[in-house]
């Protein structure tokens, strides 16, 4: 059954577990990746070769490649963890900035409400005139009301008409 594609899912689980067990002591990242992946061909011959300590050049070359792959996978995991830490830090900063922005927005709303109420209500009294006698609607001349002179009879007649 060597070098033939798998026909069912059960042999691949066994192949992945066997290969991962052999690689785990020297190449833990590769073993983890193999357990998570799918081995499509029977690795029995490869397992025997990897367990052989006779100094075969092919095995030594394969181990060298596996070490490179293992180091790369481990470095990738370290970089991913670092990136996740940075992402969490930036998300915290973003939440803080959003909270600060909301606080400032609320302050702007409060200030604009206060400003609009100041602009709507006049800051001066309703009566602008310094006329001591309030206008009763009969004499339009402020000067005559101030001097308290009686109104000429002709003007009274005109108003009455």
Question: In sequence order, what DSSP letters do the residues of 66-100 get, joined into one string?
Answer: HHHHHHHHHHHHHHHHHHHHHHHHHHHHHHHHHHH
- Per-residue pLDDT, averaged over 11-21, amounts to 76
Per the CB < 8 A criterion, the answer to whether 26 and 63 are in contact is yes
For 22, residues 6+ apart whose C-beta sits below 8 A from its C-beta are 47, 50, 51
Q: How far, CA to CA in Å, does 20 sit from each of 7, 31, 35, 61, 116? A: 20, 4, 6, 19, 73
Helix (H) or strand (E) holding 124: none
For 139, residues 6+ apart whose C-beta sits below 8 A from its C-beta are 145, 151
The verdict on pTM exceeding 0.75 is no
pLDDT tens digits along 91-140 = 999 999 999 999 999 999 999 988 887 766 555 556 566 656 665 667 66
Q: Please indicate whether residue 81 or residue 28 has the higher confidence score (pLDDT).
A: 81
The pLDDT of residue 63 is 83
Q: Please indicate whether residue 84 or residue 11 has the higher confidence score (pLDDT).
A: 84
pLDDT tens digits along 53-83 = 777 888 888 888 888 989 999 999 999 999 9
């Amino acid at each position: 059954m060597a070098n033939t594609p798998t026909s069912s899912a059960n042999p691949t689980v066994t192949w992945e577990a066997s290969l991962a067990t052999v690689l785990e002591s020297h190449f833990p990242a590769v073993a983890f990746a193999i357990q998570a992946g799918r081995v499509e061909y029977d690795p029995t011959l490869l397992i025997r070769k990897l367990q052989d300590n006779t100094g075969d050049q092919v095995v030594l070359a394969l181990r060298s490649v596996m070490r490179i792959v293992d180091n790369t996978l481990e470095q990738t995991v370290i970089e991913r963890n670092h990136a996740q830490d940075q992402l969490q830090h930036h998300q915290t900063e973003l939440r803080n900035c959003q909270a600060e922005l909301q606080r400032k927005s609320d302050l702007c709303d409060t200030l604009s409400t206060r400003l609009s109420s100041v602009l709507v209500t006049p800051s001066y009294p309703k009566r602008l005139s310094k006329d001591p006698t309030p206008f009763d609607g009969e004499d339009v001349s402020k000067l005559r009301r101030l001097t308290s002179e009686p109104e000429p009879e002709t003007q009274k007649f005109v108003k009455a008409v």
